Amino acid sequence: MPSADAQTNPLANWTGPYGGVPPFDQVTPAGLGPALEAAMAAELAAVDAIAENAEPATFDNTIAALERAGTALERVGTIYSVFTSNLADDAVQAVEREMSPKLAAHGDRIIQNGPLFARVKAVYDSRESAGLTAEQQRLTWLTYTSFVRQGAALDATSKRTLAEINGTLATLTTDFAQHVLADENDRFVLVDDQSRLAGLPESLVAAAAAEATRRGKTGWALANTRSVVEPVLTVADNRQLREEVWRMFVSRGAEDGPTNTLGIIREVVALRAERAHLLGYATHAHWQLEHAMARTPERAMALMEEVWTPAVATVASEVAAMQAVADAEGAALKIEPWDYRYYAEKVRLRDYDLDEAEIVPYLQLEKLREGMFHVAATLFDLHFSPLDSGPVEQGGVPVFHPDVRVWGVHRGSGEHVGLWYFDPFARPGKRSGAWMSGYRAQASCDEGSTAIVSNNCNFTKPPAGEAVTISWTDAETLFHEFGHALHGLSSKVTYSSLSGTRVPRDYVEFPSQVLEHWLSTPEILETYALHVETGEPIPKDLVAKIERASAFNVGFGTVEFLASALVDMKLHLAEPPADIAVFERETLAAIGMPQAVGVMRHRLPHFLHLFTGDAYSAAYYSYLWADVLTADAWEAFTEAEGPWDAEVAGRLVGQVFSAGNTVDAAEAYRGFRGRDPDTKALMRKRGFAAAGE
């Protein structure tokens, strides 16, 4: 194993301005493995020194020392994750397959270090009498309970079994991610007759032509990514094309062949159940939710079931309205899943005089980014300045791809807060969807560090010189992920383990979801929604239409999401099924999945949230739980002076965005709202009838 430490490991030694930046310009796939090995060796040496310290265990020489011990691995791991998520060519995937089980084994070596755990426990047992600050007590509690939850208190035999399970899971989840990525990269719908593209906006047609050229094909290639598929399903007049695109998208990971993931899922679920039993929990879901806001699967299920019934009833009325439109047009069809978005758009046009195609030209990616910056400056006192990319030696900030841009972030006082990287476009080797990543967590301890975060999307890159326009759904996603970024950038804590977005899973989506609300405010739309050709601001009557239609089609969106969340939870509460496809089909039938919706938003064979790691497994409900907070929090603004109310925004930033995990999530929310959240706010937001109303 390499003996290099953080000082001689180039990927761990972040130099340059802003407290150091990731050296993306020094990365090669061949160097990732050795850098990880060196960083793991450095952490193990530091951990051994802590464990073997002859002095009595204290917060400083044990808990705080552990915070510092993993710095090199966090830095190298950040770069490794960027490459596996954004540039996963064959060479990077080979490194990932090799290193995933090694990283899992490394984590187990630390957790299962008996002398280390004894010192952690000693600090934990004396935390209330040792004169620690509230934040130090919180970090001590988190460190100790994390060790216990990961098996530190098990006997030697059980620890060996647990390490074997974790190593196998690391390999399986890597395989799952790579299978889905291959399916998304390799499959597409090729159109050789432009008339089949009737209804699609010119920008999407041009992008499809460019995609075909990139693939060495003649015609138009519709890529297997949500940012292409959803617009096609919404506006393509050719029903056969809609069905073909829909089937391609929903069958990712499910087709026979080398990219099929069903066997992987079966093994993952069984191993998670075995691990939970080994750790003393009834199911993986009970282990997962122990420190979540929901606390138990039963509470999470109760919320989902409360919302499911009115959502299904709303879908029935939505389908009836769509079927009436289809019948009136003489379409001679029954609404199927590939028709839902298309005919929903017709109903929206009829009932609200609102056409998605009318909105898209006003939703320029770059203008919306400026709108997000306006929200950040006005509500958060966070101001963004573009930086030059390039080598540190030349005064730049290195990036991992030419499409990536970087902004410096500062407060109005001039205080530097962090960096924001933006990677908007799809490319081969980049996983689908949109996400936020934390490259470096804010922390004021020791020498201190400022936050470095990124937002990554998969918009279709247009021909050179053309502006990018996106759908309303994609615009909401853009604001959502920026909310995560602001959560990281706003952090004001002492220790990195408690920083920014390092909060319970069903709480972390609250800051991101609440930020979506500012997209639809007149101040943002009238200033930043500018027509791509004329530059004219979006008409006020169109803004009014958007507001009136804000709850339109909410039944579909809720059912599509909730089906995924319910199947996730039921899968991790049940005995591991022998046939995953049968389990998915039978569970959807049992809960009464509407036929016209057809499939979950994320089917199990490509459910990246669930099977590329533990984070969202038995926890996809988190988006709904967080939306209870979001709906109630937004009413705090509407009850005051509106979306830009400075006093309410100040509480939101101070109690939620900047607090990280220094306090319990429920306590943090009460600090903002003055009370626990009102679940009826969610029902009002979605237009559902709440009990007692």
Average confidence score pLDDT of the chain: 95
Among the listed ranges 545-559, 614-628, 645-659, which one has the minimum average pLDDT value? 545-559
Q: What pLDDT digit, counting tens, does each position of 231-260 carry?
A: 999 999 999 999 999 999 999 999 999 999
The 10s digit of each residue's pLDDT in 173-219 is 999 999 999 999 999 999 999 999 999 998 899 999 999 999 999 99
pLDDT at 288 over 60: yes
Mean pLDDT of 540-546: 91
- Write down the residue that tokens 């540190």 correspond to: 392
pLDDT classification of 227: cutoffs 50, 70, 90: confident
Q: What is the pLDDT of residue 464?
A: 85
Q: How far apart are CA 253 and CA 626, in angstroms?
A: 29
- Per residue in 556-611, pLDDT tens? 999 999 999 999 999 999 999 999 999 999 999 999 999 999 999 999 999 999 99
- Looking at residue 355, its pLDDT comes to 87
pLDDT digits 0-9 by tens, 372-422 = 999 999 999 999 999 999 999 888 999 999 999 999 999 999 999 999 999
- pLDDT at residue 212, as a whole number: 96
| Phi, psi for 152 (deg, rounded to 5) | -65, -25
Neighbours of 613 (CB within 10 A): 15
Which H/E stretch holds residue 221? strand 220-223
| DSSP H or E stretch at residue 608 | helix 608-611
Q: pLDDT at residue 343 above 90?
A: yes
DSSP 144-160: HHHHHHTTTTS-HHHHH
Beta bridge partners of 220: 191
- Quick one: pLDDT band at residue 550, thresholds 50, 70, 90? confident
Which helix (H) or strand (E) segment holds residue 508: the answer is helix 505-516
* pLDDT value, residue 692: 41
CA 545/CA 458 separation, integer angstroms? 28
Inform me whether the pLDDT recorded for 10 exceeds 60: yes
Identify whether 74 is a catalytic site residue: no
At 282, the pLDDT band (50, 70, 90 cuts) reads: very high
Which two structure tokens, joined as six digits, stand for 309? Answer: 């019934």
pLDDT of residue 8: 65
Helix or strand (DSSP H, E) at 83: helix 71-86
The kind and range of the H/E element at 190 are strand 188-191
In whole angstroms, give the CA distance from residue 491 to residue 441.
Answer: 8
> Among residues 481, 509, 560, 584, which one is catalytic?
481
**What confidence tens digit (pLDDT) does each residue in 491-505 have?**
999 999 999 999 999
pTM: 0.92
| Model confidence at 6: pLDDT above 80 | no
Is 90 exceeded by the pLDDT of residue 2?
A: no
Question: Packing angle between helix 90-111 and helix 71-86, nearest 10 degrees?
Answer: 150
Q: Are 59 and 136 in contact (CB under 8 A)?
A: yes
Cα–Cα distances (Å) from 105 to 6, 162, 280, 388, in that order, read 20, 10, 21, 39
Instruction: Give dist(CA 467, CA 461) in Å, integer.
Output: 9
Q: Tell me the percentage of the chain whose pLDDT exceeds 70.
A: 98
Q: Determine which of 6-10, 161-165, 268-272 has the lowest per-residue pLDDT on average.
A: 6-10
Q: Tell me, what's the pLDDT at 250?
A: 97
Determine the pLDDT at residue 446: 83
Distances (CA, A) of 269 to 167, 239, 356, 411, 556: 14, 37, 40, 46, 28
Mean local confidence (pLDDT), 146-164: 98
Domains of the chain: 24-153 (1.20.1050.40), 187-250 (no CATH), 289-340+347-352+552-686 (1.10.1370.10), 361-535 (1.10.1370.40)
Share of the chain above pLDDT 90, in %: 92
Distance of CA 532 to CAs 470, 553, 605, Å? 11, 27, 38
The arithmetic mean of pLDDT across residues 294-302, rounded, is: 97
Q: What is the mean pLDDT of residues 513-539?
A: 96
